[in-house]
Amino acid sequence: MNPLILTIILMTVFLGTMIVMASSHWLMIWIGFEMNLLAIIPILMKKYNPRAMEASTKYFLTQATASMLLMMAIIINLMHSGQWTITKVFNPTASIIMTLALAMKLGLTPFHFWVPEVTQGISLTSGLILLTWQKLAPMSILYQISPSINLNILLTMAVLSILVGGWGGLNQTQLRKIMAYSSIAHMGWMTAILVYNPTLTMLNMLIYIMMTLTMFMLFIHSSSTTTLSLSHTWNKAPLITTLILITLLSMGGLPPLSGFMPKWMIIQELTKNSSIILPTLMAIMALLNLYFYTRLTYSTSLTMFPSTNNMKMKWQFETKQITLLPPLIIASSLLLPLTPMLSILD
């Protein structure tokens, strides 16, 4: 793509999310969502082939439907409260419709069907933007309306998302689909704690973004989109396999890596609110996620996977430069001792 056009489109995506996060007028928030959606479509279709077109179409249809639902909820809220400012949404209908709309934008169950299909159809860089940046705007709105969200609906969606994220990723060999199901599961964890302590949602979001960024950067470095091609990285860049191991285990929530921090905090907060069965179930279902991460590490890092001779030297046009990989690795694996500094998120 022409660099100038690409810059303008990326700025529009950035601006759309910023408008959503910084506005106090509901209409501006909706405008921000629409700007974001329209600008991300060319990013998704950057590597143009029929599959990318199908993925972009699916993304557009689901997000446009969610925006329509959001608009309806905004108007119902306007009708009942008489003002456009974001405050606690007092009307339960508006609150429920808004929750469902934002769940559709995030990819929570039962609106998760688009996430693996869209992520699989687009390039790795576009998938990176889709799974990290695009989650910020809906999550910020959920944060702002968190006092008025119906707890039952949100917790049901959260638990189902963790289950579907774990179950769906179980026998995938395509890396982008694995990251998509991982995203669904992490969104579940984030929304489960939203009503009790929204700060932890933000913490989980930050750590999740760092880990997903790291994973995608490592995939882009080895240009691999399937488990088989990732399992040949020991031939080309053995250090990458170690980093993949650390990052995947961090995503699975193993102590003493960073990924353990949000899970620990969330379970602690839920138990403080006299909820025992729910965090137990969530922790057990997180094991499904851990299972397919460790299976990926088994074929990638823990074994020297057999390959034929000419696969050892996979040629590339130029050495890929990965932006900010070292700080990302540090952030996604070594941040656990900084847990007492959580208070800065308040």
Partner 1 sequence: MALVHKLLNGTCILRKCPKPSVALYPFLGTRFADYCSSSLQKPAAVPGKASSQRKTEGDLQGHHQRDVALDITCPEEKPEVSFDKAIKDELKNHFWRLKDDIVNRWIGPEGRPLHEVLLEQARVVWKFRGKEDLDKWIVTSDKTIGGRSEAFLKMGKNNQSALLYGTLSSDTPQDGESSRSGYCAMISRIPRGPFERKRSYDWSQFNTLYLRVRGDGRPWMVNIREDTDIIQRKNQIYSYFMFTRGGPYWQDVKKKLYLYVFVRVYLKYKFLKVKLIPFSKFFFSNQGRIRDAQYQLLLDKISSIGFTLADKVDGPFFLEIDFIGVFTDPAHTEEFAYENSPELNPRLFK
Query: Could you tell me which of 116, 118, 22, 30 has the C-alpha nearest to residue 69?
Result: 30
Residue 56 vs 144, nearer CB to partner 1: 56
Asked if 294 touches partner 1 (CB under 8 A), the answer is no
Q: Which of 120, 197, 201, 233 binds partner 1 (CB under 8 A)?
A: 120
Identity of residue 182: S
Residue 58 vs 236, nearer CB to partner 1: 58
Q: Where do we find the tokens 């990290």?
A: 132
Q: Minimum distance between the CB of residue 245 and partner 1, rounded to whole angstroms?
A: 17
Each residue 206-245 as x (binds partner 1 by CB under 8 A) or -, in order, gives --------------------xxx--x--------------
Q: Which of 72, 153, 278, 311 binds partner 1 (CB under 8 A)?
A: 311
Q: Minimum distance between the CB of residue 241 and partner 1, rounded to whole angstroms?
A: 15
Report DSSP state, residue 45: T
Q: Residues binding partner 1: what is the number (CB under 8 A)?
A: 29
Please state, in angstroms and rounded to a whole number, the distance separating the CA atoms of residues 221 and 116: 22
For 317, counting Cβ atoms within 10 Å of its Cβ (0-12 exposed, 13-18 middle, 19+ buried), the class is exposed
Structure token digits, residue 245: 């191991």
Asked if 117 touches partner 1 (CB under 8 A), the answer is yes
Q: Are 141 and 100 in contact (CB under 8 A)?
A: no
What single string gives the DSSP state of each residue in 256-312?
TSTTHHHHHHHHHHHHHTT--HHHHHHHHHHHHHHHHHHHHHIIIIIS-----HHHH
Q: Which of 41, 86, 123, 295 binds partner 1 (CB under 8 A)?
A: 295
Residue 171 vs 323, nearer CB to partner 1: 171
Asked if 79 touches partner 1 (CB under 8 A), the answer is no
For 117, counting Cβ atoms within 10 Å of its Cβ (0-12 exposed, 13-18 middle, 19+ buried), the class is middle
Q: Which of 38, 41, 58, 71 binds partner 1 (CB under 8 A)?
A: 58
Residue 175 vs 266, nearer CB to partner 1: 175
Q: Would you give the distance in Å from CA 182 to the centre of its chain?
A: 8
Residue 32 vs 107, nearer CB to partner 1: 107
Q: Which of 12, 81, 299, 339 binds partner 1 (CB under 8 A)?
A: 299
Report DSSP state, residue 89: -
Which positions lie near partner 1, rule CB under 8 A?
Answer: 1-2, 48-51, 54, 57-58, 117, 120, 167, 170-174, 226-228, 231, 295, 299, 305-306, 308-311
